[in-house]
Structure 1
Amino acid sequence: MSISIYRLTVPMFQRGLASLKTYLDKAEAYAKEKNIDPAILVSAWLAPDMLPLAGQYQRASDSAKFTLARLTATDAPKFEDNETTIEQLRERLAKTEAYLATFSAQALEGAESRQITLPGKSGIVLQGDEYITTFALPNFYFHVATAHAILRNQGAPIGKRDYLG
């Protein structure tokens, strides 16, 4: 039995974005309860050489939208990467969700065999299905999990169930 490229991408990204929205709700409530400036959480990071929480949200959003754009040979919307508040991160997630909602299963038919060049300077080319399973989904979930870890590290009450949706 095969699984469609649509089912491997759009619902998976939607689920991860839903987890990220839950994190924002819980982070906002935590900041209010503990009288913490929410900007501290948005700018928090795990290590100096890693992106802060806002960067994790930006990269998760980019991973979802650029994956679908590459698989359909279309252009993804461009976002500024300038979010500094919880509300701005919510807005970015909403824009990403709206973009994902424009894709149908038919739009992704044949994408499993499309040749995708990995971003960056590597020049590595993967077939669409391999691109999804070895790069796009792991990259997306890395940023979702890192956002989770940053907020946990800051004391926010999020757990595995929030990650799993």
Structure 2
Amino acid sequence: MTIAVYDLTVPVFTRMLNNLLVVMDKAEANATERKFDTSVLAQARLAPDMIAFSGQVLIATDHVKGCISRLAGREIPVWPDTEKTFEELRARIAKALDLLASTRPEDLADSDTREVVLKLGGNDMPLSGLDYLTKFAMPNFYFHVTTAYAILRANGAPIGKRDYIAGADSRA
């Protein structure tokens, strides 16, 4: 059985972004209960030299729009990268979810063999669509979503593995 690139991207990205919304909801509710502003969480980081939570969300959604657009052979949408509050970050995630919802299987047909050229360190790095997806886009996406989760967890949000993996499926 051949698995289509669509099946490896759109449902996976959609699920994980929805799960990120769940952990954000739980973190926000916890912040309200503990009487502090979520702007503290939005700027939180695990280490001083690390990108803050808000940046993790921006980069995760950048990987979604970049991956889907490159694999579909389309221009990558330009988003301002100015989101800082939980409300703005949720809207950013919603834009990524809208992009995913508008992507059809035929948009990504044969994209596993389509050449994707990344600019890294000023140099062109050509990859097959499948190598781009599995060796660059997905690992980066998961890194930033996981780091966003870890930042919230490290700051006391009552979230766990089930929220990260099952998220929206576990909403009561």
Alignment-derived partner of residue 69 in structure 1? 69
Matched, 1:134 2:132: no
Q: Distance in 2 between matches of 1:36 and 1:104?
A: 42
One-letter amino acid of the structure 2 residue matched with residue 142 of structure 1: F
Partner of 2:40: helix, strand, or coil? helix
Alignment map for 1:32-71 (pairs within 5 Å): 32-71=32-71
Q: Distance in 2 between matches of 1:163 and 1:157?
A: 12
Q: Distance in 2 between matches of 1:60 and 1:16?
A: 10
Give the share of equivalent positions with the same residue, in percent: 46
Alignment map for 1:104-119 (pairs within 5 Å): 104-119=104-119
TM-score w.r.t. length of structure 1: 0.96
For residues 20-43 of structure 1, the C-alpha deviation after alignment (integer angstroms, 9 at most, x for no partner) is: 101110111011000011100000
Moved more, 111-120 or 8-17: 111-120
Matched, 1:123 2:124: yes
Q: What's the offset of the Cα at 1:19?
A: 1.2
One-letter amino acid of the structure 2 residue matched with residue 87 of structure 1: E
Moved more, 117-126 or 66-75: 117-126
Alignment-derived partner of residue 152 in structure 1? 153
Partner of 2:120: helix, strand, or coil? coil
Instruction: Output the aligned Cα RMSD.
Output: 1.1
Partner of 1:117: helix, strand, or coil? strand
Q: What's the offset of the Cα at 1:124?
A: 2.1
Moved more, 46-55 or 113-122: 113-122
For residues 98-139 of structure 1, the C-alpha deviation after alignment (integer angstroms, 9 at most, x for no partner) is: 111111001111101011123432422111111111111111
Q: What's the offset of the Cα at 1:48?
A: 1.8
Q: What's the offset of the Cα at 1:72?
A: 1.3
Partner of 1:123: helix, strand, or coil? strand
Equivalences, count: 165
One-letter amino acid of the structure 2 residue matched with residue 137 of structure 1: M
Alignment-derived partner of residue 163 in structure 1? 164
For residues 73-97 of structure 1, the C-alpha deviation after alignment (integer angstroms, 9 at most, x for no partner) is: 2122221111121111111111111
What are the ranges of 5 or more consecutive residues in structure 2 without an aligned counterpart? Answer: 167-172
TM-score w.r.t. length of structure 2: 0.92
What are the ranges of 5 or more consecutive residues in structure 1 without an aligned counterpart? Answer: none
Q: Distance in 1 between matches of 2:146 and 2:14?
A: 15
Moved more, 71-80 or 21-30: 71-80
Alignment-derived partner of residue 26 in structure 1? 26
